[in-house]
Structure 1
C-alpha cells in the first residue's frame, strides 16, 4: 500500500500541475484540456474526492514505509495546488468590477445564482423554480431540414412591457454540440430575472459547409422578429451569446447584421441585435498571432468546416472572421475569456477587443477570468455563478437604456442615469 499512496501522490501533483500549466502541443492538448477543465471548475468536489482517496489508502497501511510518507506529502502538495485554483476563482467579482461590468446595477433586484447548484452541479440541467422551458420548437423548415430551439421564460402571465430576448449559440468546434448541453446555467438565471432565452441549434459540419452555420442563425434572428411576441419577448430587442465556436458565431451574428451574403433568400430581413456576449471565441481565422499558424490553416477548418484550402483561399477565411466586420456602429460587446484557456489562447480575445475598441463607438467590456480554462461556464461553479450574474447585470443595463430611448453607453452611466450606484 505505501507504493499505492506514492503513485496516488504523484498522480495528484501531475493533475494539479496540469491545471496551472496546461499543455498546448498537438498530442496532449485535448487530454490536458479535459483534465484541467474538470479539475479547475470542479475543484471543491475534486478536493473532497482526493482527500477521501488519500485517507482511505493511508488507513489501509499506506504509511508503512518511506514511499507512503512521500506519497502523502505529494498528495497534500497536489491538493494545495488545486486549492490555489479556488483562490483564483474567488477573484472573479474583482475581475468583473475591474472590467466595468455593472455588478451594482440592481443590488437588491433579484435572486443570486442558487448555491445548491454549486454543490450539486447536475441541478443546472433542471429548469429552476419560476422558469418554464418549451422544447424543440421548429424555427426553420426547408424540405427535410428542421432546425429547433428551446425557449426559457418566466412562469406566469406577463404583465406590462414585452420582455428582452437572449439568443444562446452552443459551441463544439462547429462539428458537435447541442442546445441541451450548453448555456443552461445562464438561460435559467436570465429567465428568473425576466428574460426570454432561446437556445438555438444549427447545422453542423462536416455535413454543413461554412457559412451555412451562420445562415441558420440568421434565420433564427429573422424568425425571432416575427414570433417573439408569441413568447412574451420584444421583437426589437435581442442580444446574443455563446461559447467557443458559439462565441465565434455570436460575434459574426452581431457584426454582420443585414449582410446579404449571409442572408440568401431573405436579404431584406432585419438581422440586427442589440448586444453580444461571446465567451472564449475565435475571432480571426486568417492571421496567426496566438497560434503558430492561422486557425483557418488547421485540418478542422480546411477539411470539415470551410472545406477549402487556406493557402489558396485566404479571402474566404477572412470573410468567416468577425474581425473583418468590425465597424463603428457595432452593437455593445462584453467579451469573456479564461487566462488558462488551452484551446483558444487568451491573446485571441485581447487582440479582438483591442481592434473593436479602436473602431466601435459602443461599449466594449472585456473580462479575463484568472485561472479559467476553456468552457469554464459549462459547470455551475463559483466562477460561473458570478460571471452569469455579471452578464445579467450588463444586459439588463443595455435593455434599460433601450427602454429609455438612449444610445448604448458604458454601463456605469446607465446606473447613474437611473439614480443607482455606479461602478468604478
Structure 2
C-alpha cells in the first residue's frame, strides 16, 4: 500500500516542485514592486533567480530527471508539471540572456555620456572566469590582499575600515572609497562591493571600505560625517598604503549610493565635517548603484509604500513638516550643483526597494546643472543588489564602472601633469 501511495504521490510532488520553480522564475521576469508585506520575500526570490538563472536551471533539470526516473510522468499531474518546468526553463534562459545583455546598456550609456573616447580604456574579457560561474559567492581574489580593521575615528567597531589592494607593491594608486548599504541600519564593510574592489585592485587601485554608525542609534547626518572622516583618513594615510590621495572616487549601493552621492555633492561642507573642517573632502568621481536620492519622495513614486515614515522614525528622527530644510539637505536630488564631479548612476528597472523613477529624476536634475559628465545606465530587468556577488550582470557593471573611472582618471592625470612644474614632469 505504501509503495502504491508513493507511486501515486510522485506526480503530485513533481507538480508542486515545478510550481515552486516556476514561481521563482516568474518573480524575476515580472516587475512587481508594490507588494507591501510581501516585498521582502519577493525581492529575495527575484534577486537570486534573476542573477543566478543558470544555477536555478541546473537544480530544476536535476530535480526533473530524478522525478521522471521515479515515474512522475505516469499520470496527468506529472505531465502538467513537466510542461510548467519546460516553460520555466525558457524563462530562465531569457533571464540569463537579459543579464548578459547588460553590456549593451552600459556601452550605450558610456558612449552617450562620454563620447567615443571612453573606448580607449581596456575592458575586461567579456567571458567571466569559470570559478565565478560555478561559485558566485566565492569573493576572495587571488593576488588581492585585505588589510582589515584600521581605525579612522574613535567610534569603535563602526569606525573601522579595510584597505583592499593588489599584492604587487606599487605607489600612486588611484583610490576608490566603497560605502556599504543596508538601509542605514545593517551591514558591514566586508559585505558589499567585493567584485568591484577586487577587480580595481588587480588594475592597480587602492580600495577603502569603511563601517559607519548605523540607525536607529545614529541620526542623520552622523552616517555621512563618518564617511567623510574615512575620506579624511584617506587624505592623511592612504599614501602609506600606496595610494594617491589626489584622486579619490566614491561608490556605494542602496543606502551606500545615497551616502556616496552626498559625499560627492557636499564637498568641504563644514556642517558635515565637525572638528575637521580644514580637510579637503572633494572627490573626483561618483558611482552610485541603485541609490536613494529623494528622502521626501516628493513625486510619490512609492505610493502607499512611501519610505518617509521609516526615515522619520529611524533615520531623521523628525518629520518633514517639522524640519523640511533638513530633509532637503539629506536628499541628493536637492543638492545638485554645477561643480559636481562626474557621475555614473546605475539602476535596474525592476528594483523593488529603490524605485528607478527616483534615479531618473536625480539624473535629470543633475544633468540640468552639472558641468561634468553625468552617465546614466538603466539596466532592463535588474533587481536591487545585483552586483553583490558574481553574475553576468555584475561582471558587466564592474567592467563599465572600471572603464568610467579610468576615463575620468586619465583626464585628471593629464590635468595634474599640466599643472606640475616642468622638472617634476620630467622626473
TM-score, normalised via structure 1 length: 0.90
Secondary structure of the residue aligned to 1:327 is coil
Secondary structure of the residue aligned to 2:21 is helix
CA RMSD of aligned residues (A): 2.0
Q: Does the CA-based 8 Å contact 1:330-1:362 persist in structure 2?
A: yes
Q: Show the counterpart of 1:412.
A: none
Within 5 A, what are the aligned runs for 1:141-152?
A: 141=154, 147-152=159-164
1: distance between equivalents of 2:411 and 2:57?
44
> Do residues 12 (structure 1) and 27 (structure 2) align?
no
Secondary structure of the residue aligned to 1:378 is coil
2: distance between equivalents of 1:353 and 1:294?
23
> Do residues 133 (structure 1) and 142 (structure 2) align?
no
Q: Show the counterpart of 1:420.
A: none
Q: Does the CA-based 8 Å contact 1:274-1:331 persist in structure 2?
A: yes
Q: 1:52-95, CA deviations, whole angstroms, 9 ceiling, x for partnerless residues?
A: 11221121111110111001101111121122111111211111
Distance 1:217 1:400, change over 3 A: same
5+ residue gaps, structure 1, are: 408-424
> Do residues 283 (structure 1) and 293 (structure 2) align?
yes
> Do residues 272 (structure 1) and 282 (structure 2) align?
yes
Greater CA deviation, 191-200 or 94-103?
94-103
Report the alpha carbon displacement of residue 266 of structure 1 after superposing the two structures with TM: 1.6
Q: Show the counterpart of 2:420.
A: none
Q: Does the CA-based 8 Å contact 2:192-2:388 persist in structure 1?
A: yes
Q: Show the counterpart of 1:414.
A: none
Distance 1:295 1:265, change over 3 A: farther
1: distance between equivalents of 2:379 and 2:216?
32
* 2:359 maps to which of 349, 355, 358: 349
Q: Show the counterpart of 1:100.
A: 110
> Do residues 221 (structure 1) and 221 (structure 2) align?
no
Within 5 A, what are the aligned runs for 1:124-273?
A: 124=139, 126=140, 128-141=141-154, 147-158=159-170, 162-273=172-283
Report the alpha carbon displacement of residue 139 of structure 1 after superposing the two structures with TM: 0.9
Report the alpha carbon displacement of residue 130 of structure 1 after superposing the two structures with TM: 2.1
2: distance between equivalents of 1:90 and 1:112?
10
Report the alpha carbon displacement of residue 147 of structure 1 after superposing the two structures with TM: 0.9
Q: Does the CA-based 8 Å contact 2:121-2:407 persist in structure 1?
A: no
2: distance between equivalents of 1:245 and 1:14?
29
* 1:332 maps to which of 327, 342, 359: 342
Whichever of the two has the greater Rg, that structure is: 2
TM-score, normalised via structure 2 length: 0.90
Greater CA deviation, 260-269 or 288-297?
288-297
Secondary structure of the residue aligned to 1:140 is coil
Q: Show the counterpart of 1:114.
A: 129
2: distance between equivalents of 1:330 and 1:108?
26
Q: Does the CA-based 8 Å contact 1:225-1:235 persist in structure 2?
A: yes
Distance 1:3 1:173, change over 3 A: same
2: distance between equivalents of 1:219 and 1:270?
11
Q: 1:111-144, CA deviations, whole angstroms, 9 ceiling, x for partnerless residues?
A: 98534212211321x1x222121111111115x5
2: distance between equivalents of 1:9 and 1:109?
37
5+ residue gaps, structure 2, are: 1-9, 112-116, 418-427
Secondary structure of the residue aligned to 2:263 is helix
Q: Show the counterpart of 2:101.
A: 91
2: distance between equivalents of 1:361 and 1:294?
35
2: distance between equivalents of 1:248 and 1:191?
24
2: distance between equivalents of 1:306 and 1:248?
14
Q: Does the CA-based 8 Å contact 1:112-1:389 persist in structure 2?
A: no
Within 5 A, what are the aligned runs for 1:45-56?
A: 45-56=55-66
Q: Does the CA-based 8 Å contact 1:163-1:194 persist in structure 2?
A: yes
> Do residues 366 (structure 1) and 376 (structure 2) align?
yes
Secondary structure of the residue aligned to 2:360 is helix
Q: 1:344-371, CA deviations, whole angstroms, 9 ceiling, x for partnerless residues?
A: 1111111111111110010000111111
Give the number of equivalent residue pairs: 401
1: distance between equivalents of 2:302 and 2:214?
24
> Do residues 123 (structure 1) and 138 (structure 2) align?
yes
Q: 1:360-389, CA deviations, whole angstroms, 9 ceiling, x for partnerless residues?
A: 010000111111100000121011111101
Q: Does the CA-based 8 Å contact 1:169-1:200 persist in structure 2?
A: yes
